[in-house]
Amino acid sequence: MTQLPLRLASLLVCVIGSVSVLAQSSRNSHLYRNTPAFGVVKLSVGTGISYYMGDMRAKTDLRFIQPHIAAAITYRLAERFSVRGEIDFYRISGKQEGGPIWYNNLSFRSDNPAGYVGLQADLFRYHDERAVNPYLFGGIGITRITPKAQYQGTWHSLAPLQTEGVAYKRNVRIGVIGIGTSWKFNERWSFAVELSNNYANSDYLDDVSTVYPNPTGMSELALQLSDRRPELDPATLPTGYPVRNEAGAQRGNPKVKDSYGFLSFRAEYLLGTQARRAERRKLKCYY
């Protein structure tokens, strides 16, 4: 019991010291305003929707909305700029059924990983400590494409079949550009919404690009998945259209490469830096 007054006195001194530090910091409206922006790390994870844009999409179609998940990290370089890295797993899909070239009857689905590095530019300075912060971001990276089609109840990988007689690359370079807004909950946590477009250096995300190939030497499965018009009722085809496409007939549009977009909802967590930890120690009390 004799140590109780000493402990209370120590606690009082600690509280007074903490209030003093807080008061000094409040002149700048935030405890950590004097710590540098450089080196601040933020982690984020999220989910949302992906949307395919390619040869099988003639217009906006909600059938092509699919899920995606993401994880990202940013490392702050300056008040408004950060290095950004991200990993995504996403699904895209498309079909010509119900579209202007429904009579070709092609369709696909693809579950792909992707990753990129780039820059993020915030509208407001880091030390402005705004509750809402819009930003732009962009980068370059790579995605692994895995287009598949369903035939007789089974999903078949299309790239090995060379449905256009082309052995296209499956590791594809991408360019990413997007916008986002972050809402701050507290010192550590925030919530963000992002909208981005991912431009692929390939026209084969959907396995469709140029023309129908010469069928000579193709396997039976490759022939079936290259030209799916024979699966339709011939009586429903437009006048003058053959039951099967001829070699060299237009299958896709090679002039425009494929892309895909994300609408993402994310939780963000701010990691401390050495400077921040030193500032936090000013408020700690040991008694």
Fold of 41-271: Porin (2.40.160)
Give this prediction's pTM: 0.82
Convert the pLDDT of each residue in 89-98 to its tens digit.
Answer: 999 999 999 8
DSSP string, 41-108: EEEEEEEEEEEEESTT-SS--GGGEEEEEEEEEEEE-SSSEEEEEEEEEEEEEEE-TTSTTGGG--EE
Q: Model confidence over 113-141: pLDDT tens digits? A: 999 999 999 999 888 888 999 999 999 99
Helix and strand numbers, DSSP H then E, in the chain: 3, 10
pLDDT tens digit string along 174-211? Answer: 999 999 999 999 888 999 999 999 999 999 999 999 99
Q: Which residues does the chain have with pLDDT short of 50? A: 1-2, 4-9, 11-29, 31, 285-287
Q: Domain coordinates of the chain in residue numbers?
A: 41-271
